[in-house]
Structure 1
Amino acid sequence: MHDEQQTGNTENQVNGGRQGAVVQAGAISGGVHLHLPGDGLEDIESPLIVTVDRSGQHDPYDEQTVLLDTNPPEVMVREGSFRVTVESSLTGRAVILRRMRPVVLSRRPARRACHGLITVPTFRRMAPRHFSTDLNEATPQLQAEDADFPFSVSATDVEEFIITPASGGDEILWHLEIDWLCAGRHGTTIVDDHGQPFALYPRSGPRLGCDYEHVHGCPAPRLALESTRGTVLVGCFKGSPHGRIKPDNGGAILDFTCPNESRVEEYRRGRVVNYTVELIYGDPRNPREVFLGVTNVQPAPEAPKMP
């Protein structure tokens, strides 16, 4: 019996589909340098990453939402500014933003609403581009306060736009459209609220008469009564164990007392908590003297961190 010398012939095949970087070799001696191809524009619908948020005001208790007196109650964004941040999803490629335009999808007369809800604003992270628009016009256009389109964005060069729409006296459903150009290809990206139109409520809409205290029959306390989870708006401190919670469902702001003053750090501002809400009746001769009591306030488990 004798050994047969191997020829060293190797056959590699790659079949079907779209490949990125592929290495085929029978023998490799020394180092291998692998140069990966760039992002493929043809593989994606839009080369843009767009993030929308309300632009912060100086008042940390800025009224940014309203609660419609409907059944069930409906939360709408109050007329004000929107922050739109745009960047490229392609590594090494710039995207030209040719224009941006607002599109009105529907309108209706404003319904009565509670204007007493409060939220914590977010603050600017970079120098933004300011635009305004009148959604009452037949074909609304963005009006630049300084530099105007076109702009260029990349994965490292981001643009931030502050859009301030005026809605007149109507409730308006609308979205934004961004026309772009990249590597000879052009398209339009729709900017909305997670697949739904932006719902805008006018500042001149009819009020229920609420401020930080809600009038009898306002839907905000009713919605808060149904809530079980929220975010601490005003945190607790030793010697001052009283705080405030903003319910996730948009209900009225809730007052609570830290259950254990020695653990106030668990109830700091921005912490998500679970709780129970119940009605507390005051003077039985006054049927309107009803309060919301918050009990069993517990820090919600934090989401596990990705490895």
Structure 2
Amino acid sequence: MSDEDRTGSVHNRVEGGHHHTIIQAGEISRLEVNGGAARDERGDIEDPVIATVDLPSLGGLVVDADPPTAVMKSGERHVITLEARPARAVVLRAMRPVVVSRRLPRPLRQGYDALQMRPRGFTVDLDADPPRLRSTEDGVDFPFTISATDVEQFCLLPSAHREEVRWQLELDWTCAGHRGTTVINDDGKPFELYPQENWHKMSLQEEFEQTHAKAAALHSAPGRFQSVLHALYLQATVGDVRGECPEDPEAKKLWQSWYELKGRSKASARHDYVLWAGVALKN
């Protein structure tokens, strides 16, 4: 066996005899392996979240504007489906509501009802400053993880009591060492929300009492809505939390849910109780 050096390359020649394993020593300038894991495009890494917003097909209410504008009434479901654009996992670090503007309620032209419910459940308190996103399931909250084969779906119940609110979501994410924020809204426009107090035909107290009569059994039945219903009912009837936190694990969990509502008015708690009891009764 002999080697001949040539400019810019190494030439190997094998002559005569029987040879077994041959090892070439030299520079390998390029190595490609086919059949490995799919590579993600740079653009998919920098913008890895696909957000789809599902609103009731008929809209919520129509306000007297020029032109007339469809808005969602307070408590209407906003279902957000999140998918990953790249093949690798995307960590969803946080999600927060952002109020774009507020105004006094405009006169209504027409109303519709079209409600659907899908997991995961979150309340969106747009009266709070800053607006507050709160899970309805004990121990379930951000961060979540999505991938090309594992999606997440969120059912949001936004609420406002006094003003029309234009709002949207900002979703913080991490993917392959990159961090960013995806804005989620109604096809490029902020969501439009109409305040609860201006469209209720039945008094809130009457609706609260009727709803509680239907949902009373859910307060003692363990489940994803038990603690939020229990806490909202106590806040709506008693007010701020009282007494010391109990030591029993189940009682402690219910007490802590009530404690988180401290400072919320009874009217606001009645409003949210009606919303979430309605969701729980449909599931």
Q: TM-score, normalised by structure 2?
A: 0.53
From the superposition, tell whether residues 118 and 206 of structure 1 become closer, same or farther in structure 2 (CA, over 3 Å). closer
- How many Å separate the matches in 2 of 1:102 and 1:143? 11
Partner of 1:38: 39
Partner of 1:131: 122
Compare relative contact order (CA 8 Å, sep 6+) and give the higher one, 1 or 2.
Answer: 2
Amino acid at match of 1:143: R
Q: CA deviation at 1:172?
A: 0.6
Contact 2:45 2:86 in 1 (8 A): no
Partner of 2:280: none
**Alignment match of 2:92 (pick from 82, 90, 97):** 97
Amino acid at match of 2:77: S
1:244-263 matches, cutoff 5 A: none
Contact 1:115 1:207 in 2 (8 A): no
**Alignment match of 2:73 (pick from 78, 86, 89):** 78
Q: What is the CA deviation profile of residues 82-117 of structure 1, one whole-angstrom value per residue up to 9, with x for unaligned ones?
A: 1111110112x0000011000001000101103433
Partner of 2:50: 49
From the superposition, tell whether residues 67 and 41 of structure 1 become closer, same or farther in structure 2 (CA, over 3 Å). same
**Alignment match of 1:145 (pick from 117, 133, 136):** 136
Does 1:106 find its partner at 2:107? no
Task: Give the secondary-structure state (helix, strand or coil) at the position aligned to 1:204.
Answer: helix
From the superposition, tell whether residues 160 and 43 of structure 1 become closer, same or farther in structure 2 (CA, over 3 Å). closer
From the superposition, tell whether residues 55 and 159 of structure 1 become closer, same or farther in structure 2 (CA, over 3 Å). farther
1:227-306 matches, cutoff 5 A: none
From the superposition, tell whether residues 163 and 122 of structure 1 become closer, same or farther in structure 2 (CA, over 3 Å). closer
Structure with a larger share of its residues in strand: 1
- How many Å separate the matches in 1 of 2:54 and 2:146? 19
From the superposition, tell whether residues 206 and 70 of structure 1 become closer, same or farther in structure 2 (CA, over 3 Å). farther
Q: What is the CA deviation profile of residues 240-292 of structure 1, one whole-angstrom value per residue up to 9, with x for unaligned ones?
A: xxxxxxxxxxxxxxxxxxxxxxxxxxxxxxxxxxxxxxxxxxxxxxxxxxxxx
From the superposition, tell whether residues 132 and 118 of structure 1 become closer, same or farther in structure 2 (CA, over 3 Å). closer
Partner of 2:179: 186
Contact 2:61 2:110 in 1 (8 A): yes
Contact 1:78 1:201 in 2 (8 A): yes
Q: CA deviation at 1:203?
A: 2.7
Does 1:167 find its partner at 2:160? yes
Task: Give the secondary-structure state (helix, strand or coil) at the position aligned to 1:168.
Answer: coil
Structure with a larger share of its residues in helix: 2
- How many Å separate the matches in 1 of 2:173 and 2:81? 15
Task: Give the secondary-structure state (helix, strand or coil) at the position aligned to 2:198.
Answer: coil
Does 1:117 find its partner at 2:109? no
- How many Å separate the matches in 1 of 2:103 and 2:129? 15
Amino acid at match of 1:149: F
From the superposition, tell whether residues 189 and 34 of structure 1 become closer, same or farther in structure 2 (CA, over 3 Å). same
Partner of 1:235: none
- How many Å separate the matches in 1 of 2:92 and 2:186? 20
Contact 1:112 1:207 in 2 (8 A): no
- How many Å separate the matches in 2 of 1:151 and 1:78? 28
Contact 2:93 2:173 in 1 (8 A): yes
Contact 1:180 1:186 in 2 (8 A): yes
Long gaps (5+) in structure 1: 1-22, 25-31, 57-62, 209-307
Amino acid at match of 1:76: V
Long gaps (5+) in structure 2: 1-29, 202-283
Contact 1:55 1:123 in 2 (8 A): no
From the superposition, tell whether residues 112 and 88 of structure 1 become closer, same or farther in structure 2 (CA, over 3 Å). same
- How many Å separate the matches in 2 of 1:66 and 1:163? 18
Q: CA deviation at 1:118?
A: 4.6
From the superposition, tell whether residues 130 and 47 of structure 1 become closer, same or farther in structure 2 (CA, over 3 Å). same
**Alignment match of 1:88 (pick from 62, 81, 84):** 84
From the superposition, tell whether residues 186 and 87 of structure 1 become closer, same or farther in structure 2 (CA, over 3 Å). same
Q: CA deviation at 1:76?
A: 1.3
Amino acid at match of 1:144: S
